[in-house]
């Protein structure tokens, strides 16, 4: 039972993002947690270990010797039918990379909290979205939390989504390193009964069973490999309605609205920003100020990053005159940074579509300030006014 | 209940490893797998990437009549650890019956790329049996040297050249690495000694906690030996003291097949193309080093036996 102010069936508490994720994992009654320490994620697994060692959570904590082994152990555990969780950041996710693809293809519904951190070199422990972007093609569903509340809510939803028979894919919940992982915020947590009702014990299929032996992870050559991948692709794409349904169900339960994208001011916006993660709040704060000055600006933030909410995004962006896509990462040699490329290709088929600018910002934990957000909006407004893209990619907040 | 046997006639009849797999003629792996599944019928198998994995599960076929999991190359021990940890908690929470988790890795997947995951799993004390089938090189990718390749052997990445006649470094000692983790049972296996092998598998599986078996796995393809000589070569490996058969049971070393007077190593070497160059006069220096390795290993084993038996 969380200590805080009781509001209906929920409790208002103060927690960091890491603590909120750990609390959500505890309420989700997870069976196996295999993880390896890495800043800024470590506190998640520390808290879970405390829950287990104090008898508040009946789970196995496998304190493995690397992230590679963490995800390997998660796959083995998930195949037994257990509910499985791991957490990592940056280099840890990079070390898992090989196994991420296997987790998806073997349809193991593992949930991972990813406290986003910049990839080395130079080594840095603060927020970039390099890690999440680098695994976007691996067949994991990915959510981005905007605040601690969402980190908590999305973790609970992630288990339900991952384990749903219409989905059966692993899920990453992204939370911006330090900004959310260590930032303490007020949030509402559900009571255990509500979580149990929303997230009953996993009903696994095709689990490891000596009585019904099966072969998991066979060699598949050119005679079947494409059919395997096609089946996986169809399953991944078909999971979309199930994801939407579960987000809606949780919205009703919690009174907090969850959908693939969130919009602000988009009903009449001529210039907009597209953002991921904790920057959404800053962007909306500045947008509100600009709108008070009569500027028609808006903000679109993505809660769901994979599968990419292409149709929703195209619908809200196609009539906007200019959009600045904000990337907390850089893709060397690409036509733009990662989110920019997604947004551009999502809009390509639209008859009407906005002029696009890509802004690279906030790398390695560089503060995303209101001034930077305002600069981005000014670029969008100027592009909308002139009907011309001056610079396709800009860097904000760099010396 | 540990059931030890005295003759092969007592081996269980049931075959849980189906015929029709694509392992090479004369390969030592199927002998091991059949024996393991006879000894541990409630096994869940985890298989590192390697010959055994690719040759037994070419979709849509499988040779495995027990649950079998392949994840990747270097992570068999970690995958097995996850399965074990999950079954342990599911047994507590939901009364699900816990099977015995057995991991197979080749020497590449064990001595080299998988040693970290193996060390971690042994240290954490998972109830699992890890078995290394050691054919002394990366045979699945086409005979490249590994940390298990013996000194002098020719592989495609340690060829018997004019200047460098084969691998110059000695083989790692896997049993001692495993024993250093404080595990309760570790032993070497050899297909020419099936009773010794079966009994050690049964013993290893009966221990609660991590155990390790190290299997001498003839490979006619990689060793350039006759396919009908695999068992003969395996027997010679023991009789020349190249592959001592011994165990470490709760810290105490014991030689299970004593070799009072060893046969000349040349008898073992000359049956295999990978060693034939060592018999040329210009490579005698390397042959001498290999012989020294064999002698040192044997003498060290005798000392370990004496020391551990005295202090037990």
Contact state of A72 with B71 under an 8 Å Cβ cutoff = yes
In this complex, the residue of B57, B85, B90 whose CB is nearest that of residue A81 is: B90
Dihedral of CA A294/A295/A301/A307: which sign?
positive
Q: Is B14 on the interface with A (CB under 8 A)?
A: no
Residues 6+ apart with CB under 8 A from A121: none
Structural tokens at position B93: 């929470």
Do B220 and B227 meet the contact criterion of CB atoms below 8 Å apart? yes
Contact yes or no for B69 and A76 at CB 8 A: yes
Q: What is the pLDDT of residues A280-302, one digit of tens each?
A: 999 999 999 999 999 999 999 99
CA B49 to CA B104: how far, in whole Å? 9
Chain A CB contacts of B124 below 8 Å: 62-64
Check pLDDT > 80 for residue B215. yes
For chains A and B, CB pairs below 8 A equal 150
Exposure letters A372-395 (e unless 16+ CB within 10 A, then b):
bbbbbbebbbebbeeeeeeeebbe
| CB nearest to A77's CB, from B67, B83, B116 | B83
Q: What is the pLDDT of residues B32-51, one digit of tens each?
A: 999 999 999 999 999 999 99
> pLDDT digits over B126-184, tens only?
999 999 999 999 999 999 999 999 999 999 999 999 999 999 999 999 999 999 999 99
Q: What percent of chain B has pLDDT over 90?
A: 98
Q: Does B283 touch chain A (CB under 8 A)?
A: no
- Average pLDDT over chain A reads 98
Read off the pLDDT of each residue in B284-292 and give the average, rounded to a whole number: 98
A216 and B67 within 8 Å at the Cβ level: the answer is yes
Query: Nearest CA of chain A to the CA of B78: how many Å?
Result: 5
Q: Give B52→chain A minimum CA distance, Å.
A: 11
Cβ–Cβ gap A60/B116 under 8 Å: no
Residues 116-145 of B with CB under 8 A from A: 116-117, 119-121, 123-124
Q: Give backbone dihedrals phi and psi of B7, rounded to 5 degrees, phi first.
A: -135, 160
Tokens of A182: 């260590």
| Structural domains for chain A | 5-254 (3.40.50.970), 262-395 (3.40.50.920)
Q: Which residues of B touch A84 (CB under 8 A)?
A: 86
SS3 state of residue B253: strand
Report how many helices (DSSP H) and strands (DSSP E) chain B contains, helices first.
11, 8
In chain A, % helix, strand, coil (3-state, to 5) comes to 40, 20, 40
Q: How far is A92 from chain B (nearest CA, A)?
A: 15
Contact between B86 and A60 using a beta-carbon 8 Å cutoff: yes
* C-beta atoms of A215 and B120 within 8 A: no
Residues of B in contact with A82 (CB under 8 A): 86, 89-90
How do residues A155-188 score in pLDDT, each as one tens digit?
999 999 999 999 999 999 999 999 999 999 999 9
- Mean pLDDT within B220-224: 98
Compute the distance between CA of residue A112 and CA of residue A174 in angstroms, rounded to an integer.
8
Find the closest chain A residue to B58 by CA distance.
Answer: A219
DSSP-based three-state secondary structure for A78: helix
Rounded CA separation B68/B43 (Å)? 9
Q: Domain-by-domain residue ranges, chain B?
A: 8-311
- Measure the CA–CA gap between B105 and B108, rounded to whole angstroms: 8
* E strand or H helix that includes residue A158: helix A148-163
pLDDT for residue B290: 98
A215 forms beta bridges with B68
Does the beta-carbon distance from A69 to B75 stay under 8 Å? Answer: yes
Identify whether the C-beta of residue A207 lies closer than 8 Å to the C-beta of residue A213.
Answer: no
Quote the DSSP letter at residue B170. Answer: P
Q: Is the pLDDT of residue B256 over 90?
A: yes
* Max intra-chain CA distance, chain B: 67
| Residue A49 phi, psi (nearest 5) | -60, -40
**Interface contact B65-A73, CB threshold 8 A:** no
CA distance A240 to A132: 19
CATH number for the domain formed by residue range(s) B8-311: 3.40.50.970
Structure tokens at A89: 């950041």
Cα B131 to Cα B212: distance, rounded to the nearest angstrom: 6
Euclidean distance between CA atoms A294 and A349, whole angstroms: 31
Q: Does position B1 have pLDDT exceeding 60, yes or no?
A: no
Query: Is the ipTM reported for this complex over the cut 0.90?
Result: yes
Please list the alpha-helical segments (H only) found in chain B: 29-39, 51-56, 76-94, 107, 115-124, 174-179, 194-206, 220-223, 230-239, 265-269, 284-311
- Residue A243 phi/psi, 5° resolution? -60, -45
How far apart are the CA of A174 and the nearest CA of chain B, in angstroms? Answer: 24
CB contact under 8 A, B72 and A102: yes
- Average pLDDT on A70-94 reads 98
Q: Each residue of A1-11: pLDDT tens digit?
A: 678 999 999 99
Query: What is the token pair recorded at B156?
Result: 């495609």
- From chain A, the residues in CB contact with B85 under 8 A are 32, 34, 60, 62, 73, 77
Do residue B71 and residue A102 have CB atoms under 8 angstroms apart?
yes
Q: Which residue of B has its CA nearest to A52?
A: B89
Tokens linked to B220: 């006619």
Residue whose C-alpha is closest to residue B152's, from B294, B5, B36, B289? B289
* A213 touches B at CB < 8 Å: yes
Q: b or e along B170-206 (b: 16 or more beta carbons within 10 Å of the residue's beta carbon)?
A: bbbebbebbbebebbbbbbbbbbbbbbbbbbbbbbbb
**pLDDT in the model for residue B312:** 77
Chain B residue numbers with beta carbons less than 8 Å from the beta carbon of A99 are 71-72, 75
Q: pLDDT exceeding 70 applies to what percent of chain A?
A: 100
Give the pLDDT band (50/70/90) at residue B2.
low
């Amino acid at each position: 039972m969380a200590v805080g102010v009781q509001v209906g069936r929920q409790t208002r508490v103060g927690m960091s993002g890491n603590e909120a994720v750990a609390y959500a994992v505890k309420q989700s009654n997870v069976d196996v947690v295999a993880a390896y320490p890495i800043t800024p994620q470590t506190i998640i697994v520390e808290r879970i270990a405390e829950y287990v060692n104090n008898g508040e959570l009946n789970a196995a904590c496998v304190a493995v010797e690397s992230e590679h082994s963490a995800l390997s152990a998660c796959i083995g555990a998930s195949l037994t039918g257990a509910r499985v969780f791991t957490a990592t950041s940056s280099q840890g996710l990079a070390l898992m990379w090989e196994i991420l693809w296997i987790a998806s293809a073997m349809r193991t519904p593992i949930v991972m909290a990813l406290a986003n951190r910049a990839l080395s070199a130079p080594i840095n422990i603060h927020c970039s979205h390099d890690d999440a972007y680098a695994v976007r093609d691996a067949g994991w569903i990915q959510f981005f939390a905007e605040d601690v509340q969402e980190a908590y809510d999305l973790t609970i939803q992630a288990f339900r989504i991952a384990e749903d028979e219409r989905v059966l894919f692993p899920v990453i919940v992204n939370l911006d390193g330090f900004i959310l992982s260590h930032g303490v915020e007020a949030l509402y947590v559900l009571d255990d009964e509500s979580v149990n009702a929303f997230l009953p014990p996993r009903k696994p299929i095709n689990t490891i069973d000596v009585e019904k032996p099966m072969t998991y992870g066979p060699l598949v050559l050119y005679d079947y490999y494409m059919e395997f991948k096609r089946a996986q692709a169809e399953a991944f794409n078909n999971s979309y309605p199930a994801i939407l349904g579960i987000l809606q169900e949780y919205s009703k339960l919690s009174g907090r609205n969850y959908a693939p994208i969130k919009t602000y001011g988009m009903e009449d916006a001529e210039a907009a920003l597209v953002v991921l993660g904790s920057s959404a709040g800053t962007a909306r704060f500045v947008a509100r100020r600009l709108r008070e000055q009569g500027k028609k600006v808006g903000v679109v933030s993505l809660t769901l990053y994979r599968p990419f909410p292409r149709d929703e995004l195209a619908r809200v962006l196609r009539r906007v005159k200019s959009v600045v896509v904000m990337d907390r990462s850089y893709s060397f040699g690409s036509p733009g940074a990662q989110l920019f490329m997604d947004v551009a290709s999502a809009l390509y088929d639209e008859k009407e579509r906005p002029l696009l600018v890509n802004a690279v910002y906030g790398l390695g934990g560089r503060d995303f300030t209101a001034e930077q957000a305002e600069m981005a909006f000014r670029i969008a407004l100027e592009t909308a006014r002139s009907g011309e893209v001056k610079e396709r990619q800009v860097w904000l907040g760099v010396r | 209940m540990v059931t030890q046997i005295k003759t092969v006639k007592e081996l269980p009849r049931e075959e849980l490893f189906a015929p029709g797999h694509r392992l090479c003629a004369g390969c030592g792996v199927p002998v091991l797998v059949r024996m393991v599944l006879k000894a541990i019928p409630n096994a869940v198998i985890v298989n590192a990437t390697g010959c055994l994995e690719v040759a037994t599960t070419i979709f849509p076929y499988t040779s495995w009549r027990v649950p079998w999991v392949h994840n990747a190359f270097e992570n068999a021990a970690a995958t097995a650890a996850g399965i074990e940890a999950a079954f342990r908690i599911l047994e507590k929470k939901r009364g699900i019956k816990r099977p015995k988790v057995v991991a197979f890795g080749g020497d590449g997947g064990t001595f080299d790329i998988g040693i970290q995951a193996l060390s971690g799993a042994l240290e954490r004390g998972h109830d699992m049996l890890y078995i290394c089938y050691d054919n002394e090189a990366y045979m699945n990718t086409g005979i490249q040297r590994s940390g298990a390749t013996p000194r002098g052997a020719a592989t495609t990445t340690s060829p018997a050249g004019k200047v460098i006649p084969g691998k110059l470094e000695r083989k790692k000692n896997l049993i001692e690495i495993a024993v250093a983790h404080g595990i309760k049972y570790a032993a070497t296996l050899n297909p020419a000694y099936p009773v010794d092998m079966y009994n050690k598998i049964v013993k290893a599986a009966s221990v609660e906690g991590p155990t390790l078996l190290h299997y001498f796995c003839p490979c006619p393809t990689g060793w350039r030996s006759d396919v009908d000589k695999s068992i003969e070569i395996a027997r010679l490996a023991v009789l020349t003291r190249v592959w001592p058969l011994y165990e470490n049971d709760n810290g105490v070393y014991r030689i299970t097949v004593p070799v009072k007077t060893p046969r000349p190593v040349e008898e073992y070497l000359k049956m295999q193309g990978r060693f034939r160059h060592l018999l040329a006069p210009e490579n005698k220096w390397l042959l001498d080093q290999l012989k020294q390795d064999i002698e040192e290993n044997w003498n060290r084993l005798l000392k370990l036996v004496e020391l551990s038996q005295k202090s037990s």
